[in-house]
Amino acid sequence: MQNLDELEPGITAVIKAFDIENMPLKLIEMGCLPGNQIMLIQKAPFSDPLYIKLDQSHLAISREIAKHIIVEPA
């Protein structure tokens, strides 16, 4: 298992856990929950922000938030 910010672009992973204290409620409402698939599409220059695909949504999240999402490559 690894943090989302350590995932290589183009790799699909399954969310295993996250730090509830550091997770924005909006991401949880959009389906960023354990068991759901997430894919890192691209990293911006200097690796911040990260462009991800969560279910059918495309989002940009900060690297700081991605550090708190634990994933396992599928």
What span, in angstroms and rounded, lies between the C-alpha atoms of 14 and 12?
Answer: 7
Position 53 scores a pLDDT of 94
Position 55 scores a pLDDT of 84
Q: Is 4 helix (H, G, I), strand (E, B) or coil?
A: helix
What span, in angstroms and rounded, lies between the C-alpha atoms of 47 and 36?
Answer: 23
List pLDDT tens digits, range 20-72. Answer: 888 899 988 888 999 999 999 999 888 789 999 998 889 999 999 999 999 99
What span, in angstroms and rounded, lies between the C-alpha atoms of 65 and 14?
Answer: 16
The pTM score is: 0.86
Domain boundaries, the chain: 2-73
Q: What CATH architecture does domain 2-73 belong to?
A: Roll (2.30)
Say if CB 15 and CB 38 are below 8 A apart. Answer: yes
Position 20 scores a pLDDT of 87
